[in-house]
Structure 1
Amino acid sequence: MITTTPDGRDWRLSAVCAEVDPEVFYPVDLRPDAPAVLVAKRVCAGCPVRTSCAVDVMAGEDPARRWGVTAGMTPQERTALYAATRTELGAVAA
């Protein structure tokens, strides 16, 4: 799934990460406070399309195969967000 901006453009055209070495987003140590993770999160923090990125990754990512820092979140943080979202949806449906 590719999320577009309100004007219909592909959000990735405005992503700050497009100008950064992709290796920055795939550190070996994925602890949220690990130095390499903090570098990746800093890049994402200043990105104007971070929300679109998060929506896109959460819609299309296989929960069993999360890796790297995306939308400023580690795999564990995306797993927690996914679980919280599923719980909220379940609560609404019940």
Structure 2
Amino acid sequence: MTILNAGMRRPTTPAASAPASQDWKTRSVCRGELADDFYSTIKSRKERARALCVGCPVIVECLNNQRQSDDAIYRWGVGGGLDPEQRRALEVEELLGNVPNLAMARVLVSPRWLWRLRQLKAGCRSLEGMTAALRKDGLFVDEVTVRVAVWWSGGEGSRMSRLAPGDKRTWRAQLRDDYADVVVALHELGARRADIAAYLGIPGTNGAKGVSDVLKAAAASGLELAA
């Protein structure tokens, strides 16, 4: 979502204070579109906004600009093809040293490769599996770059692997069993509970509550946790 739509925006959006001298905004495809689509909580409207972003020639510039405007705690709206929780997850990725190659992510959602990305989303249980398959296809990609491309294409891009057939655990049980060490490590790096939940792909109040439960269990078992 670019500043060119500011007249239709709610006044509290962070991007309203972005510099007006950035010429790339004149090439955005969301010019003249209804701003409410970009700030709606309705899934169909969010998907409509994201679809505009994916076909936009300045999606990379828009995402970088949006992230500069995001507040560490409060953020909202689709910007640069990502929703607030996805941008929050990207902050944690970079905290871990995982910086996406956004130019390569654009390649993955281009007409030439999008079919392959969708095929892998359906057939692979994890980002690791998707990345390995794309490398075999001859692309030099890493997991966080693939993750951004999956988000842009409308997928979840969760860091938690899809459960194997026959595995009937809930996501809370999977979080506790398979990702407790990740939760504790991110907590010790200073990531907030909501940030950790977004990183793992379980955003929202329930995700943050699940992370809190894991941290409480870790503390009860004697693990050292940062304050």
TM over 0.5, yes or no?
Answer: yes
Are 1:28 and 2:37 matched, yes or no?
no
Correspondence for 2:216: none
- Separation in 2, partners of 1:63, 1:87: 16
Do structure 1's residue 59 and structure 2's residue 68 form an aligned pair? yes
Query: Equivalents in 1 of 2:96, 2:75: separation in Å?
Result: 19
| Amino acid paired to 2:34 | D
Q: Matched residues in 1 for 2:72 and 2:31: separation? A: 24
Q: Report how many residues are paired.
A: 80
Structure 1 stretches of at least 4 aligned residues deviating more than 3 Å after TM superposition: none
Q: Give 2:86's aligned amino acid.
A: E
Q: What code does the residue aligned with 2:88 have?
A: T
Partner-residue secondary structure (3-state), 2:68:
helix
Match of 1:17, SS state, is coil
- 2:89 maps to which residue? 80
Counterpart residue number, 1:40: 49
Q: Give the whole-Å Cα distance in 1 for the aligned partners of 2:72 and 2:78.
A: 14
Separation in 2, partners of 1:45, 1:28: 19
Q: What's the CA shift string for 1:24-78, capped at 9, x where partnerless? A: 101124xxxx212111110101100000001111123212121011111111101
State the AA in 2 paired with 1:43. L
SS in 2 for 1:71: coil
Structure 2 spans left out of the alignment, 5+ residues: 1-17, 99-227
What TM-score do you get using the length of structure 2 for normalisation? 0.33
Gaps of 5+ in 1: 90-94
Q: Choose 1 or 2 for highest CA Rg.
A: 2
Q: TM-score, normalised by structure 1?
A: 0.74
The separation in 2 between residues aligned to 1:37 and 1:58, in whole angstroms, is 18
2:29 is equivalent to residue 16 of structure 1: yes
Q: Secondary structure at the match of 2:31?
A: helix
* Residue 49 of structure 1: aligned partner: 58
In structure 2, give the amino acid aligned to 1:69: V
Please give the secondary structure, in 2, of the residue aligned with 1:18.
coil
Q: What is aligned with 1:68? A: 77
**More RCO (CA 8 Å, sep 6+):** 1
| Distance in 2 separating the partners of 1:80 and 1:45 | 19
Q: 1:86 offset after TM fit, Å?
A: 1.9
